[in-house]
Structure 1
């Protein structure tokens, strides 16, 4: 197991969390497995930006983003150099610190939040 520290998010994880993640699963799936309801409007098919996360620590250890993911990230609210789509960033043996942005552009469920 690999540790993911989730920084506090006022709606999804007000206290923050430390979870034991399963390597080989995406950040999004690991958060969902621990009852942190990260938006994933496209059902984790790399077709939207609702699962956008900012990887504050451990970013360099992740596999590079695909061209499709990079193109979608350009549309994400609050994009930073260490942004990833949670559904595409696969956890490995490196611990991560993840921030869920305050807002997401929910292209599939406009006006969701």
Structure 2
């Protein structure tokens, strides 16, 4: 069973955490199940960039992003070569290390 290590994020996961994941789940599914409340304004429909994450290790185990995800990533804050939308990145059989950027472009967030 693959594991995801979420690096420390002062707002979402101050200590960082390593959790188990199921093959085929998205990074966002795993995060939410483990009380890491990554913004996802479009309810996981690949229509925004609020769930942007950076896969620091294991990036090549993920299926390539499609054109729609790439278009949304163009709108994200702080995009890097190993950026993905956590609602679209499905876990394969390799462990991942994921960083959730501190900032997002979520204009619809209710609790700020």
Could you state the TM-score of these two structures normalised by the residue count of structure 2? Answer: 0.95
The Cα shift of 1:101 comes to: 0.2
1:35-56 deviation line (CA, Å, top 9, x unaligned): 1111111110000011000000
* Partner-residue secondary structure (3-state), 2:54: strand
TM-score computed with the length of structure 1 as normaliser: 0.94
Preserved CA contact (<8 Å) 2:23 2:90:
yes
Structure 2 stretches of 5 or more lacking a match? none
Aligned to 1:23: 23
For the residue of structure 2 that corresponds to 1:35, the secondary structure is coil
Query: Where in structure 1 do 4 or more consecutive aligned residues deviate above 2 Å?
Result: 110-113
Q: Trace 1:46-61 onto structure 2 (pairs within 5 A).
A: 46-61=46-61
Deviation at 1:112, TM superposition (A): 5.5
* Secondary structure, counterpart of 2:30 in structure 1: helix
Structure 1: runs of 5+ lacking an equivalent: none
1:66 equivalent in structure 2 = 66
Once residues 58 and 79 of structure 1 are traced to their aligned partners in structure 2, the CA distance between those partners, rounded to angstroms, is: 17
After superposition, residues 1-113 of structure 1 pair within 5 angstroms as: 1-107=1-107, 109=108, 113=112
Aligned residues: 112
Determine if contact 2:41/2:109 at 8 Å carries over to the other structure. Answer: no
SS in 1 for 2:18: strand
